[in-house]
Chain A
Amino acid sequence: KNEVEQSPQNLTAQEGEFITINCSYSVGISALHWLQQHPGGGIVSLFMLSSGKKKHGRLIATINIQEKHSSLHITASHPRDSAVYICAVAANTGNQFYFGTGTSLTVIP
């Protein structure tokens, strides 16, 4: 049983397209993190959310606590956005962290 489900698993887009990655979770959470991992392993934290919406440049993250769902949007996608995007939740019981399996995004010029 996966506490965090992401979709899609793989995504190919043309440069300039609007992209949405979805994350659903089944546990109560204190916070949700969106992470970006480039080939070679380095992980960068994009957002930490506990409610509402956050925007950073071309990236937007939203969360609906009642529906246990979050989305990551990329506007005007660019080849440098090609990476694996991972959703992670900090559960509010047991202080556990759970991860989605990631969405592999390829943006074609």
Chain B
Amino acid sequence: KAGVTQTPRYLIKTRGQQVTLSCSPISGHRSVSWYQQTPGQGLQFLFEYFSETQRNKGNFPGRFSGRQFSNSRSEMNVSTLELGDSALYLCASSFGTGDNSPLHFGNGTRLTVT
């Protein structure tokens, strides 16, 4: 069974631009959650989607948004990029939601904002 696939692996963007990251979950998994990891703040929860509906959202500004498609693939969008958005962005999929199913993580997308 293929694991969680995140694309692209690396991305360099300029301040003010926008970016879209993609996450393909394990086949059969209906939940996709997104996380930001930085050296200063560690891992932080962005949002979780389950069956195309946003189930919950962390404390991030509205510049961070996401969606989930009918095949459970998910995208995350960050608009008006700031230097502080430089981070490793991880997604995880699970069969159920994160409060009742183990999480399976992708390898992440490393975003650098210059």
Contact = CB atoms under 8 A, between A and B. Distances in A.
**Same complex:** yes
Interface string A91-109: 0101111111110000000
Contact of B105 (A43, A100, A101): A43
Interface of B: 33, 35, 37, 42-45, 48, 55-56, 58, 88, 90, 92, 97-105, 107-108, 110
Interface of A: 29-31, 33, 35, 41-45, 48, 86, 88, 90, 92, 94-102
B114 to A, nearest CB: 20
Given A41-B88, A102-B42, A95 B108 contact: no
Given A43-B90, A86-B43, A88-B43, A97 B105 contact: no
Given A30-B100, A48-B101, A90-B98, A97 B107 contact: no
B98 A96 contact: no
Name B's interface SS.
strand
A60 B88 CA distance: 29
Nearest to A46: B102
Given A42-B107, A96-B58, 10 more contacts: A30-B100, A31-B100, A41-B107, A45-B92, A45-B104, A45-B105, A86-B43, A90-B97, A90-B98, A96-B56
B55 A33 contact: no
B48 A45 contact: no
Nearest to A2: B42
27 contacts: A30-B99, A31-B99, A31-B100, A33-B98, A33-B102, A41-B37, A41-B88, A41-B107, A41-B108, A42-B105, A42-B107, A43-B90, A45-B102, A45-B103, A45-B104, A48-B101, A48-B103, A86-B43, A90-B98, A94-B56, A95-B56, A95-B97, A97-B33, A97-B35, A97-B98, A101-B42, A102-B42
